[in-house]
Structure 1
Amino acid sequence: MGSIAEGAAPAQDLRFCRSADGTRLAWATHGSGPPLVIASCWLSHLQYDWQSPVWRHFLESLGHIATTIRYDERGFGLSDWEVDDFGYESRLRDLETVLDQQPHEQFALMGMSAGAPLAIGYAARHPERVSRLILYAPIGSGCFAKSDDQDAETALLAIIKTGWARKEPIFRRVFTSVLIPDATEEQMSWLDELQRMSTSPENAMASRLARADVDVSGLLSQVRAPTLVLHARDDRAANFAWGRRLSAGIPDARLVCLDSKNHILLGDEPAWPVWLREVTEFLEPERSTHSAAAGNGHAAEALAVSGREEEILGLAAQGLDNAQIAEALVLSVRTVERHLQNVYAKAGVSGRAARTAVVARYLAHH
């Protein structure tokens, strides 16, 4: 059986934060270009995904077209495993927490598999921040490979309980065969092992039970961002009907049907370049805007800031610290910090001198 080996991974900036209930969340960034946030499926590990023949082509390709921001959900990967609450609202607050760490006012958001309901919920709740929405192999209700047959569902839970943590992959292979039925033995072995590395049997069971009650159908009409839905026609883990339903319910959505049986597209199958081309073209307006800003940012004499950013800079120029600015504008300190980080990014400055630099630049033009 293949195993996940240590190896040199492309540079990523790995960090941690804590959600509202104290759960430690791991998140990472890599690549360059406009920001793209990924609400991933439950099966992820920020470190080991880089060595995976199942996931690595996604990470490398996305890093070429965007500054890619990923995180491990609560109970999985490098995030805390000691978790009691896998409910939808807690998971959505986790996503909000990770995004509050980012310096970007707006970003594209990709919801993969069971991450799609989170992406939809966030886009509906924070339309001002999501510039574009991508849903890949989306599950709008329940969990992957959900069965309406209670006996079958009970059997799947028993498989998780009995075989998830065992060294032998025979039980985990049931799920692997659903997720990537056309994979090679090497690819299947890697995904077998990734399941064991990503979480505990208890978390896998609790998460599956919690997701069975999730249904975001009522939120679809509230999504305002242009949306791209990509779904394999014969996906065995997420029925293609969900792709049709979501794309029909979201006002500005387009559905791309992929010719595959795999829930996770493999790098050597014909559907993969189609997926990559569609995503690249969909993000092109973001890439063009980002390139123009990067080209002009350093040459421009005055910073192109929003009204709120100008208010914050004005108060910073008066000598107020972040807490005082937050109090004056009735904002949270974290929101003030996010706006300042966005200004630093626009100015192309970082480090301890960033605040001084942008304040000086602001004063020079006021």
Structure 2
Amino acid sequence: MIVFTGARYARSGDVNIAYQVVGDGPIDLVLVLGWVSHLAYVWELPAMARFLQRLASFSRLILFDKRGTGMSDRVHPLPTLEQRMDDVRAVLDAVGSRRAALFGISEGGVMSALFAATYPDRAAGLIINGSYPSRLLRPGYPWGIPAGKFDQRIAGISETWGQGLGMEAYAPSQLQNPEVAAWWGKFTQMSASPGDAEDLMRMNIQIDIGGILPTIRVPTLVIHANQDKVAPFEAGRYFADHIPGARMLELDSIDHWPYFGDADLVLGEVEEFLTGARRASAPETMLATVLCTNVAQAGAHAVWLGGRQWHDLVDRHHSVARKAIARYGGREIEAGEQGITAVFDGTARAIRCALEIRDELLELGLRVRAGLHAGECEIAGGRPRGVALHVASGVMAAAQPSEVLVSSTVKDLVVGSGLEFAERGSRELTGLPGSWGLYAAGRDQPERGPAEPERPLVSTTLSRREHEVAQLLAQGMSNREIAQRLYLSERTVDNHVHHILAKLGFDSRVQIATWLARK
């Protein structure tokens, strides 16, 4: 698997341009991304990494950060298109490439087209994806945005930069995928500062290359989604109509970015355009251990705490889980108010991660169920999918609160790891055929039969301080408010809440309040 292994630098005048070369194919291909980029973090989105890996499988792929963005030197004032073209030449010289094809995505298509027109001896071909000859409405080009409307957009950039906004235009198909939104927010922050982003946007709206398109004399492929919300489809058609001999591929898609549902189609067309042939793309698969977690009594927590406090607790839950997932080398697939799904390429690490998440969340007064299963996953749009995810979800549903439950497959894969298990018998999992052997992970697991009640009461005797804390919990006070009332640290109150839940065998504050009311 190709990953980012470090940037090299080409000198363009007195500016350092960061670049990376991957692959050893027969043709050099320069990928020019949109208005901001970050050479290292671009690999952190699985769909994007898969896209880049496929390009590198049939080319020598050359990636770089334009001056003023990412890992290249920041410059003021921001560069002109001519200076950025000089940067491309400097990178080509640094990697020993006399001639290369250019693949420009979004704003990168503008610079790629201008480079091909200006330096035809160094451009072997041109691919323009989701781009535009002009962002603004101009005479003879009615598909741009009125200048006043664009000014309104620019005015809000500095206030919202880094929040992951714009997904509804860039990748509407991924709006329910938190991984993409989180990546985009961090990607923008790492690529440019809010002020630089605003300046770059102002520079981009001044671009108009419509007049130079007829001078391009290199083979050209134009790719454009017919429902693109960033660059209208007519912009792509304009390129195809005005560049001599250009061929156009229309995508039936709502996404501006080509990295998701249409990735295989786009990559196949690009490969055939550059090499004269395309390979059949077999489904990519991987063996992965899937972890699913679920907050016990999540609905009751939400009702009892109220919207704001519940969302604060969800944020703390996600923070704990994500730190553990990152520490154990996992990858988050999905996150919701009730839990997180992640995949790991190491089974023992996945189990240890689940145990750590469980233990740390107990300190927040949250009991989670966790389920793990290992199996083959198909990679679609850069994300794993398949039966293994369904099995892990079923295993999780069979777990008791505060229990990490694994399938027999997972247990068998970690023989000799030092991990301990208690047998939980065989279960039928919802929606899945047959019965599945299940085991509880962790030390000192009590043996229990499948028919045993979910959480037997352990003790109903609370200490005086625990009873005070329970009374205040029943009044709807947060741990912080209880700490202030009783002159305790918030961490001490967290521990009291954990002990109360453990003693009473409860999963939520609602159950504590109900128990006190009955007493």
When normalised by structure 2's length, the TM-score is 0.49
Amino acid at match of 2:21: T
- What's 1:158 paired with? 155
- What's 2:196 paired with? 203
Query: Paired residue for 1:116, among 89, 109, 120?
Result: 109
- Structure-1 separation of matches of 2:167 and 2:73: 24
Amino acid at match of 2:251: L
- What's 2:254 paired with? 261
Deviates more, 1:79-88 or 1:182-191: 79-88
Deviation string 1:116-166 (CA, Å, 9 cap, x unpaired) is 1211111111111211111111222238x973151x32332222111215x
> In the alignment, is residue 73 of structure 1 matched against residue 66 of structure 2?
yes
User: Structure 2: which 5+ runs fail to align?
Assistant: 137-142, 279-519
User: Structure 1: which 5+ runs fail to align?
Assistant: 1-7, 288-366
- Structure-2 separation of matches of 1:233 and 1:254: 15
Q: CA deviation at 1:88?
A: 1.9
> In the alignment, is residue 177 of structure 1 matched against residue 168 of structure 2?
yes
- The structure that has the greater radius of gyration is 2
Amino acid at match of 1:278: E
- Structure-1 separation of matches of 2:272 and 2:6: 26
Secondary structure class of the residue paired with 2:187: helix
Q: How does 1:1-366 map to 2 (within 5 A)?
A: 10=3, 14-20=7-13, 22-33=14-25, 34-142=27-135, 147-148=145-146, 150=148, 152-165=149-162, 169=163, 172-173=164-165, 175-183=166-174, 184-267=177-260, 269=261, 271-285=262-276
- Structure-1 separation of matches of 2:205 and 2:144: 8
The alpha-carbon distance between structure 1 residues 103 and 132, as it changes in their structure 2 partners (threshold 3 A), is same
- Structure-1 separation of matches of 2:68 and 2:81: 13
Higher relative contact order (CA 8 A, sep 6+): 1
- Structure-2 separation of matches of 1:196 and 1:85: 17
- Structure-1 separation of matches of 2:201 and 2:68: 12
Contact 2:135 2:207 in 1 (8 A): yes
Secondary structure class of the residue paired with 2:222: strand
The alpha-carbon distance between structure 1 residues 45 and 61, as it changes in their structure 2 partners (threshold 3 A), is same
Q: CA deviation at 1:64?
A: 0.8
Aligned residues: 270
Amino acid at match of 2:190: M
Amino acid at match of 1:18: R
Secondary structure class of the residue paired with 1:283: helix
- Structure-1 separation of matches of 2:223 and 2:52: 17
Secondary structure class of the residue paired with 1:25: strand
Deviation string 1:229-253 (CA, Å, 9 cap, x unpaired) is 1111111111111110011111121
Deviation string 1:161-209 (CA, Å, 9 cap, x unpaired) is 11215xxx2xx41x22211111122212211221111110111011110
User: What is the percent sequence identity of the aligned residues?
Assistant: 31
- What's 2:139 paired with? none
- What's 1:325 paired with? none
Amino acid at match of 1:26: A
Q: CA deviation at 1:12?
A: 5.0
- What's 1:300 paired with? none
The alpha-carbon distance between structure 1 residues 102 and 188, as it changes in their structure 2 partners (threshold 3 A), is same
Q: Which has the larger share of helix?
A: 1
Deviates more, 1:179-188 or 1:60-69: 179-188
Q: CA deviation at 1:9?
A: 5.5
Q: RMSD in angstroms over aligned alpha carbons?
A: 2.3
The alpha-carbon distance between structure 1 residues 286 and 13, as it changes in their structure 2 partners (threshold 3 A), is farther
Contact 1:9 1:51 in 2 (8 A): no
When normalised by structure 1's length, the TM-score is 0.69
Amino acid at match of 1:156: R
- Structure-2 separation of matches of 1:117 and 1:46: 20
User: Where has structure 1 moved over 4 Å in runs of 4 or more?
Assistant: none
Q: Which has the larger share of strand?
A: 2
The alpha-carbon distance between structure 1 residues 73 and 110, as it changes in their structure 2 partners (threshold 3 A), is same
Amino acid at match of 2:168: S
Contact 1:39 1:95 in 2 (8 A): no
